[in-house]
A = this chain, B = another copy of it.
Amino acid sequence: MKKISLQSKYSIVEHLTHTFIGRVRFNETDPLGIVWHGNYVDYFEEGREAFGRENGMCYLDIRDNGFVTPIVNVVVNYKKTLKYGEEYRVKTFLVQQRTAKITHLYEIYNEANELVCDGETTQVFVDLDGHMSLYEPEFYTEWKRKMKINNG
C-alpha cells in the first residue's frame, strides 16, 4: 500500500481505506482562482462521512447509538492547489488506537494524481447529556471487532 505521509506517528487500519471523488465548486474558489484553504476541512468531512457510510459508522449511526463525536483537533498541510472544476479524490484512513477517540488521516489528490494536501482530524465521544466518554462506547468496540480493527 502507498505509504502515507503521517504514518510515522500513527498506525492506520489498512483494509478500510476509502476514496471519495468530488469536483471543486465555483464558490469554493477564492480571488486567486484556487480552492480557499478552509474548504479542505469540508473535503475531509466529505471523505470521512463517505468512509462512514461505506463501513456503517457515519454521523447518523453514531447518533442512533446515543452519541455524537465532535471534532477536537484538525490539522491541514497544504502542498498544491486545486482550481475550479477540477476533480479531486479524498483518501480517508482510520487510525488504530486504544483511547476513546476516533482519528482519521486524509490525503487529497488532484486529477494528475499529485498530493494536494494531507491532514488529520480527531473526535471524542460525547453522550446525549453532553458528557465526554472516557471509555470507548460499547457499540463502537463491537463495530471495531466486526470490522477486524486492531487497537494498534
Contacts and interface: CB of A to CB of B under 8 A. Distances in A.
A78 interface: yes
B49 A85 contact: yes
Identical chains bound together, number? 4
A140 interface: no
Given A30-B31, A73-B77, A73-B78, A60 B85 contact: yes
A46 B27 CA distance: 10
A76 B74 contact: yes
Interface string A127-147: 000000000000000000000
A41 B31 contact: no
Interface of A: 25-27, 29-33, 36-39, 41-42, 45-46, 49, 53, 58-60, 68, 70-78, 81, 84-85
7 contacts: A26-B45, A27-B36, A27-B45, A37-B41, A38-B74, A74-B76, A75-B75
